């Protein structure tokens, strides 16, 4: 399942801070006049992965920022959802995410051994199994459960309660695709209206349930990151 993003494929600049500003401007151009322009979850995950990968310090909190894009909320739910609907939702921590990446950019500009400023955005990061595994592993290291809800491809018919495959969506007239004519009359395929068939998911079979993460983990960690006086390395 490929999820497109607004990001350009490659960003380069003379400094990392300038590169960061270029990515910010890409979003700002989509929403003029907004200080913290909206990001979809798919866009946020692509952004997070690239800035994590260029950071020398290990970019603390990257996995928590990413987990939020998959619907993780330690106060409400411990599962992470990977589907096109979740990918298209707005990312809830936009302002914090911009500041997190800005801190990485400043750190890289202060180093004399930093690589030339360049980021190649991977548009398929949201569904990349390697990245998903990294997110889950880091959450579990911090004491969080990390079960992914994976779409099975089937759905449950809300009228009969039976499991079946989704049909083509109905058009504005409540009809499915035209499949031919019989006795001079148009014949249309069965279709699904919104709510006719709810997607079914299966849990990641290798997830192990362990102690839940503190409900303040994300907020406390974010405050620590943005207020600490120095940027010391932490393992990735």
The model's confidence at residue 45, banded by pLDDT at 50, 70 and 90, is: very high
Query: Structure tokens of 92?
Result: 């809830």
pLDDT above 70 coverage of the chain, percent: 72
Higher pLDDT, 140 or 124: 124
Please say whether the beta carbons of 15 and 115 come within 8 A. no
Report pTM: 0.61
> Mean pLDDT, to the nearest integer, of 56-69?
85
**For 147-177, how does the pLDDT look when each residue is reduced to its tens digit (9 = 90+)?**
555 555 678 888 998 888 888 889 989 999 9
Looking at residue 137, its pLDDT comes to: 85
Please say whether the beta carbons of 78 and 207 come within 8 A. no
User: What are the angstrom distances between the C-alpha of 89 and each of 182, 225, 229?
Assistant: 43, 26, 34
Please say whether the beta carbons of 189 and 179 come within 8 A. yes
Q: Where are the domains of the chain?
A: 10-146+207-227, 153-200
């Amino acid at each position: 399942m490929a999820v497109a993003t607004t990001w350009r494929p490659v960003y380069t600049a003379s400094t990392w801070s300038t590169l960061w500003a270029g990515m910010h401007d890409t979003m700002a151009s989509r929403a003029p006049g907004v200080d913290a322009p909206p990001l979809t979850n798919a866009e946020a995950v692509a952004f997070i992965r690239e800035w994590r990968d260029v950071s020398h310090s290990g970019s603390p909190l990257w996995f928590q920022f990413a987990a939020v894009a998959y619907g993780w909320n330690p106060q409400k739910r411990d599962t992470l959802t990977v589907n096109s609907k979740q990918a298209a939702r707005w990312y809830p921590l936009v302002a914090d995410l911009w500041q997190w990446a800005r801190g990485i950019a400043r750190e890289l500009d202060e180093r004399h051994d930093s690589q030339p400023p360049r980021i190649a955005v991977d548009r398929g990061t949201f569904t990349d199994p390697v990245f998903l595994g990294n997110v889950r592993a880091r959450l579990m290291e911090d004491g969080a459960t990390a079960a992914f809800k994976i779409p099975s491809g089937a759905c449950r018919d809300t009228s009969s309660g039976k499991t079946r495959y989704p049909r083509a969506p109905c058009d504005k007239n409540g009809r499915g695709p035209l499949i031919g004519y019989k006795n001079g009359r148009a014949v249309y395929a069965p279709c699904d209206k919104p709510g006719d068939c709810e997607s079914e998911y299966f849990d990641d079979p290798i997830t192990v349930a362990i102690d839940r993460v503190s409900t303040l983990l994300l907020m406390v960690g974010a405050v620590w990151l943005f207020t600490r006086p120095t940027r010391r390395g932490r393992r990735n």
